[in-house]
Amino acid sequence: MEGESYVFKWNEEEISTFVYGKLMVEETIEGIKLAHRAKLELGRQPKILEAGSGNGCVVILFNRLGFDGIKGVEINNDIVKVLHKKYPEYSFTHGSITNLPPELKNNDVVLSLGVVEHFIDGLDKPIKAMFDATRPGGYALISVPCLNTTRKFKKLYQQIFHKGVAEEKRKYEEKNHMKFKYWPRFLDGDFFEYHLSTKQFRKELEKAGFEVLSHVAGEDELGLREAFNRKNKRKLIWEEPKAIEFFKSRGGGYLLRFAKAFPFFASHFQICICRRPVE
Which residues of the shown chain bind ligand SAM in the complex (CB under 6 A)?
A: 5, 7-8, 52-54, 57-58, 73-76, 96-98, 113-115, 118
Looking at the Cβ atoms of 133 and 236, the one nearer to ligand SAM is 133
Nearer to ligand SAM, 14 or 249 (CB): 14
In angstroms, rounded to a whole number, what is the distance separating the alpha carbons of residues 125 and 58? 23
Shortest separation between residue 167's beta carbon and ligand SAM, angstroms = 25
Min CB(128)–ligand SAM separation in Å: 13
Least separation in angstroms between residue 156's CB and ligand SAM is 27
Q: Give the containing element (helix H, strand E) for 260.
A: helix 250-261
In whole angstroms, the minimum distance from the beta carbon of 118 to ligand SAM comes to: 5
CB of residue 6 to ligand SAM, shortest distance in Å: 6
Q: Which of the 8 DSSP states describes residue 99? A: S
- Name the residue nearer to ligand SAM (CB basis): 19 or 205: 19
Strands 107-113 and 91-94: unpaired
| CA 111/CA 274 separation, integer angstroms | 10
Looking at the Cβ atoms of 39 and 118, the one nearer to ligand SAM is: 118
- Nearest Cα neighbor of 142 from 241, 65, 27 is 27
- Shorter beta-carbon distance to ligand SAM: residue 75 or 255: 75
Q: Which is nearer to ligand SAM, 16 or 171 (CB)?
A: 16
β strands within 117-258, DSSP E? 134-145, 183-186, 192-195, 211-218, 237-240, 245-248
Residue type, 274: C
Residue 23 has a CB neighbour count (10 Å cut-off) of 14
- Closest approach, Cβ 161 to ligand SAM, in A, equals 30
Indicate the burial class of 269 (C-beta count within 10 angstroms; 0-12, 13-18, 19 or more).
Answer: buried
